[in-house]
Amino acid sequence: MLRSALGLMVILTVSGCSRGESSAPAAPPPSAAPMASPGAMTDGSMPYASPAAVDAYGSPLPGGVPMADGSSGFGASPGAMGAPGAAGAPASMASPTPEQLAAAAAVPAKDKLLWMQVMLDRAHFSPGEIDGLDGSSHKRAVAAFARARNVAPETVPAALASDGSPMLTSYTITAEDVAGPFKPIPADMMKKSALDKLGYASALEALGEKFHAKPELLKRLNPGKTFKAGDVIQVPNVHTTAPAGKAAKVVVDESDGSVTALDAQGNVLAAYPATMGSEHDPLPVGNWKINGVSKNPTFNYNPDLFWDAKPKDDKAKLAPGPNNPVGLVWIDLSKEHYGIHGTPVPATVGKTESHGCIRLTNWDVMELADLVSPGIPAILQN
């Protein structure tokens, strides 16, 4: 790794994400966490039991009623709020206006889930891969929005309606979008290491990431389209601007599978669903720091660091690209071998286990990378 003129630690290669082996030094106390080399991981396939929160329309489920510790209301910026789950004196819930209630009610029932996911994305409360389905990442985003904006869960749709933007927008596919080259990506790590780039497997996959959407959703929205250059397609009207401000702290919370960026006043800048830890490689709970950011990193695969590696696997260097095991960004933590990073399989975020690191969608970790700075706290809690 090397340090840039701006003081950012630039990690050139990612080299393994796992609990330390017996030959590795013991983890230091959180208060004395050292600078460390980056880690890495691959996507798992174990089922992930998401915590109860709220249903797709914000109605509370057992054990998941949002805290009312913010101070903002409808149409306002997020109010002061501590780390997710922090106790505090409840504030009065903000009430929706008649106009907001009417706007939310006007959304057709068949479009409600998709509309909410697009509006949550625009508000930087990511639902993960937009699919229009009532999944765990959708529920978490609704709960996070309700907590941060200090609104009752059942009024989240009305609060989202204050955005006023359409759910979909038109996009003309460019020659660059379909230029490729597109190649199938093998699952086997040794076969991956033979490729000179781990790019997108198809133009549809690339468009899905551009618009934070499941490729199958794009096909449903555009029946009969072949997704060639010049096609005008309908896509989710996702955010195009970054959250206002810089993060002073990042909180990784295993209890609700979330990563939250907060500013110096404790306001939520953005919240993301995440996959973190497993029985074999638990999340390293503690107070760590962010060392730096690497964009489009290579990945040094070390089978000795992976409990599920194939017996015949050798050490290998994997090329950069969106289908690299750590995706498009690695945010290095002061806990050796651990980081926050992207994924080649966005549909699995929040739904599978990891090798101990914190996995976001590529678009979410790219946004987070622009919010953080070296040295800010990264609090990992469960």
For the sheet with 13-14, list strands across it.
Answer: 13-14, 298-301, 316-318
Residue with tokens 């057992």: 62
Residue 192 burial class via C-beta count within 10 angstroms: exposed 0-12, middle 13-18, buried 19 and up: buried
- Cα distance between residue 261 and residue 76, in whole Å: 18
Instruction: Note whether 313 and 30 are within 8 A (CB).
Output: no
- Cα distance between residue 237 and residue 221, in whole Å: 13
Angle at the Cα of 114 (from 60 to 77), degrees rounded to 5? 65
Active-site pick, 239, 337, 355, 357: 357
Indicate if 17 belongs to the active site. no
Indicate if 341 belongs to the active site. yes
Do you find a cis peptide bond into 181, omega within 30 degrees of 0? yes
Instruction: Note whether 375 and 333 are within 8 A (CB).
Output: no
Active-site pick, 138, 239, 337, 341: 341
325: nearest Cα among 128, 43, 44, 45: 43
253: nearest Cα among 237, 231, 238, 268: 268
- How far does CA 79 lie from the centroid of its chain? 22
Q: Which residues pair with 13 in a beta bridge?
A: 298
- Cα distance between residue 235 and residue 221, in whole Å: 7
- How far does CA 37 lie from the centroid of its chain? 22
> What's the token pair of residue 300?
């040094």
Instruction: Note whether 341 and 296 are within 8 A (CB).
Output: no
Residues recognised as catalytic: 341, 357
